[in-house]
């Protein structure tokens, strides 16, 4: 019987990875906004869509509408919640929601629209990558590297990285007015995650 408990136990690696990113979003949102209500809403919404998305679509009679969406465009739709998060919450005090949204949209649209062509060119890289590191290790490394790379690009060093974990810094400074850095950080972080996790479609 496909109960909620059984559904959780049979989650695919991709959904587990998506849930890990929801947890990361919740943590970063708490660090930047300190809103328990927002964290609960983000967590509940993310878990509901990732774990029970099919059941929700069935209840809302959305299956036919979803079926009409071109296969290459579906990743863009699935990434929309994350992009909207960056626009509404992820900008924090930086005012960089727009640049991050635009960079993220590019990172999502490129493989969605040109995935087969990209995969063909990177086939050799995928093979070497898979031999060098198992997928589980790459799934763990992707969000860590994304955060470290973004912090390094935006702040110029990793000296104040402790601030992300509730620590203090002796040289606090606002990231406002650094839209270009945020754009570059988002684009490069997404690219690194893509190179670590992308699997060629067969």
Q: What is the pLDDT of residues 96-148, one digit of tens each?
A: 667 777 777 788 778 878 888 999 999 999 999 999 999 888 888 888 888 88
* Choice between 15 and 95, residue whose per-residue pLDDT is larger: 15
Cβ of 117: how many Cβ atoms within 10 Å? 11
Give Rg (Cα) of the chain. Answer: 18
CA distance 61 to 53: 12
Under 8 Å CB-to-CB from 135, ≥6 apart: which residues? 13, 197
CA distance 142 to 197: 8
Q: Which range is least confidently modeled, 4-8, 85-89, 104-108, 162-166?
A: 4-8
**The pLDDT of residue 7:** 54
User: Using the 8-state DSSP alphabet, how is residue 87 labeled?
Assistant: I
Is 177's pLDDT higher than 70? no
CA distance 155 to 186: 13
Under 8 Å CB-to-CB from 121, ≥6 apart: which residues? none
The percent of residues in the chain predicted with pLDDT above 70, rounded, is 70
**The pLDDT of residue 144:** 85
Average confidence (pLDDT) over 163-188: 67
The CA-to-CA distance between both ends of the chain, in Å, stands at 31
**The pLDDT of residue 133:** 92
**The pLDDT of residue 128:** 95
CA distance 197 to 137: 10
Both structure tokens of 78 = 């699935």
* Cα separations in angstroms, 45 against 21, 32, 59, 139: 13, 19, 16, 22
Across 6-15, 147-156, 157-166, which has the greatest mean pLDDT? Answer: 147-156
Q: Are 154 and 185 in contact (CB under 8 A)?
A: yes
Provide the H-helix boundaries in the chain. Answer: 4-9, 13-33, 36-59, 63-67, 74-85, 97-121, 123-132, 135-155, 179-197
């Amino acid at each position: 019987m496909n109960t909620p408990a059984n559904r959780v136990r049979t989650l695919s690696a991709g959904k587990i990875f998506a849930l890990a990113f929801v947890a990361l979003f919740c943590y970063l949102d708490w660090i930047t906004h300190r809103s328990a209500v927002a964290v609960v809403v983000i967590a509940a919404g993310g878990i509901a869509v990732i774990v029970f998305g099919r059941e929700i679509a069935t209840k809302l009679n959305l299956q036919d509408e979803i079926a009409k969406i071109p296969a290459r465009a579906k990743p863009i739709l699935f990434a929309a919640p994350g992009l909207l998060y960056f626009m509404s919450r992820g900008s924090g005090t930086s005012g960089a929601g727009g640049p991050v949204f635009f960079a993220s949209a590019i990172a999502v649209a490129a493989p969605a629209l040109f995935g087969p062509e990209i995969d063909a060119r990177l086939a050799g890289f995928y093979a070497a990558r898979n031999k060098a590191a198992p997928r589980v290790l790459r799934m763990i490394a992707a969000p860590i590297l994304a955060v470290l790379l973004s912090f390094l690009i935006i702040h110029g060093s990793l000296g104040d990285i402790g601030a992300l974990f509730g620590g203090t810094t002796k040289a606090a400074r606002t990231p406002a007015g650094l839209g270009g850095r945020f754009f570059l950080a988002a684009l490069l972080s997404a690219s690194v995650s893509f190179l670590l996790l992308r699997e060629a479609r067969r």
